[in-house]
Amino acid sequence: MSFPAELINPKFYSLTVAVGRRQQLREAGRRVVLTNGVFDLLHTGHLFYLQKARTLGDALFIALNSDESVRQLKGPLRPVQNEIERAYALAALACVDGVTVFRDKRLTNEILALAPDVYVKAGDYTLEKLDPDERTALEKVGARIEFLPFLPGFSTTELIAKIKAAGEV
């Protein structure tokens, strides 16, 4: 999927560009935080999480699930917003330094290529819940793994349910 000219943002990176930017940051002694996810219907829980993640380093990169990988993970009706819309919203945030879309179900290759200093997931994850290949890749590159508190009451699934209910009124 290609971005319409109006939605292009300098924070959108191909993996190759992201790796180059990561190398520049490494050479400057800057710590890179990596997180990943769907980030469909950006909500308060996402914003809280991303702002907290950014405090763990000098730059926050997001590996965004492609539309196809979202369907593999969440079913045929997701994502609600396509990858261009989701990437645009994320790149508009001051706490986000770069967004790259990944096509596979897992981001093992992106972890190995970017070699983040810190990898962050929300508190609904544990070391045991991380994909084993992703966890091995994180250990291989020496990334510190952090789990941030999950902000209760905010989820995309709950937001979709509220929107459906509001449409029936």
pLDDT tens readout for residues 26-54 = 999 999 999 999 998 898 999 999 999 99
Q: What is the maximal distance between C-alpha atoms in the chain?
A: 56
Mean pLDDT of 129-136: 95
pTM of the model: 0.90
- In this prediction, residue 9 carries a pLDDT of 85
- In this prediction, residue 61 carries a pLDDT of 98
Looking at the domain 8-167, which fold is it?
Rossmann fold (3.40.50)
Mean model confidence pLDDT for the chain = 91
Rg of the chain over Cα atoms, rounded to whole angstroms, equals 16
Distance in angstroms (rounded) separating the CA atoms of residues 38 and 87: 10
Q: Which two tokens stand for residue 147?
A: 């789990």
- In this prediction, residue 1 carries a pLDDT of 59
- Length of the chain (residues): 169
Beta bridge partners of 148: 122
